[in-house]
Structure 1
Amino acid sequence: MSVKHDHDCGNHRWHERHHDGIRRFFKVLLFLVILVLITVLIVWLVLRPTKPKFYLRDTTVMAFNLSITPSLLTTIIQATIAVRNPNQRIGIFYDRLQVYASYKSQPITLSSNIRPSYQPHKGVSVLSPFLYGTNVPIAPYLSTSLNQDEQSGSALLTVKIDGRIRWKVGSWTSGRYRLFVNCPAYLSFDTTFGSTDSNILSPVVRFQRISSCSVTV
């Protein structure tokens, strides 16, 4: 009986040591995970990433034709957008950027996809996408509004960017963040050399001034 009892005690001690080893392993692992998270948080708080700056430098309008009946708009625009990373120690990955033009919140062109890129700290880059919209149906009230803008000699379009970005600090890269950019494009109309068809609004359109864009991350 004593031999069996000693054997049971030995198994019990072995299981205790085994469980103690597992508990120590998980404690060390948990400590390391917490340490890494605290380090990342401290780095993040110290560096405090600043969202990128966008500026609409130019808008070349190659076509801006509005058919009154039915209300169809054809637009060809090349937008020139400067992008600046204001951070001193943080790089930015632009994983996806989609650019399009809108009028009073309605898209009037298809989205133009910008290829993924990386921007180092204090870096500046320029985007020059072409924005196309052929016979895009618009609401009758927008057609009326555009006609009124043409009569007044100016209109406000918006060049919009929808994207995904990541921050890079040293060898560490953050998760993806949603990026929204709105760039006001102030245009002036010159109907002197426009279309002679009374059903088609086709003025000469010129970009008025450089504008700063609103950015939300």
Structure 2
Amino acid sequence: MGSASRAVSCLCCPCKCLACGLFSCLCSILISLLVTLGVLALILYFIFRPHMIAATVDSANLSTFALSTNSALAYNLTVGMTVRNPNTRVGLYYDNVEALALYKDQRFGYDPLDSFYQGTQASTKLNPEFHGSQPLQGDVTAAEFRQEQTAGNFAINIDFNAKLRVKVWAFKVHGPKAKITCKLSVPAPGATNASPFQPTDCKVWF
């Protein structure tokens, strides 16, 4: 009798399984379960062929971006971005949505956004806004701020985080946490030598 017969025997008669070797029985069941799940996952992948979501920052405007003598950053930043679900058979729910603004790897802005749903091949427009004042750390940051202000453009990162749920037919399952990182070059307020903002594709991480 092969291992499959021993597994069946274990399922049908637990007492006999214990007598013959509980460990061997459990291993056979576990291997069979893993193989079944692996085959099912492979079938689902070839049916639905999931694609990475895409994101682009279409616009970014700084009406205020000033650093005081005590390194407090006063800011007013508006961003327009598009998030797209390229999948033809998979819908996406975005929960716990948040947008973060960073300068020199220091977060200065935060905007919680509403949860939303994307159907197949749908796009969603998002408009996070950041305004307030936030201290920045380090003399190097202050020096780089002055350099970029003179050059006319600031290097600002926008991060977009969300917890995904996946909809397949009528079924909804928890998905990964998505992180979108957008590296922007934003014209400084009132700068006459600034390069105009260019739409920027973002990187998506899971």
Give the shorter-chain TM-score range. 0.7 to 0.9
Q: What CA distance in whole angstroms lies between the structure 1 residues aligned with 2:42 and 2:172?
A: 13
Cα pair distance change 1:207/1:79, threshold 3 Å: farther
Q: Residues 143-198 of structure 1: CA distance to partner in whole angstroms, max 9, x if unpaired?
A: 110101112222211111122112211122232311111112212236569xxxxx
Q: Residues 12-38 of structure 1: CA distance to partner in whole angstroms, max 9, x if unpaired?
A: xxxxxxx96999xxxxxx999x87885
Does residue 1:211 correspond to 2:200, yes or no? yes
TM-score (norm 1): 0.72
SS at match of 2:60: strand
Q: What CA distance in whole angstroms lies between the structure 2 residues aligned with 1:22 and 1:52?
A: 48
Cα pair distance change 1:191/1:76, threshold 3 Å: closer
User: Does the 8 Å CA contact 1:61/1:206 hold for their aligned counterparts?
Assistant: no
The answer for the alignment partner of 1:11 in structure 2 is none
Which structure 2 residue ranges, 5 or more long, are not aligned?
1-10, 16-29
Q: What CA distance in whole angstroms lies between the structure 1 residues aligned with 2:179 and 2:113?
A: 14
Once the two structures are overlaid, the 10-residue window that deviates more, 162-171 or 119-128, is: 162-171
The answer for the alignment partner of 1:101 in structure 2 is 101
Q: What CA distance in whole angstroms lies between the structure 2 residues aligned with 1:61 and 1:206?
A: 13
Deviation at 1:57, TM superposition (A): 0.4
Aligned residues: CA RMSD: 3.0
Which structure 1 residue ranges, 5 or more long, are not aligned?
1-18, 24-29, 194-203
Identity of aligned residues (%): 21
Larger Rg: 1
State the number of aligned residues. 181
SS at match of 1:173: strand
The answer for the alignment partner of 1:42 in structure 2 is 43
The answer for the alignment partner of 2:55 in structure 1 is 54
SS at match of 1:108: strand
Q: What CA distance in whole angstroms lies between the structure 2 residues aligned with 1:87 and 1:55?
A: 17
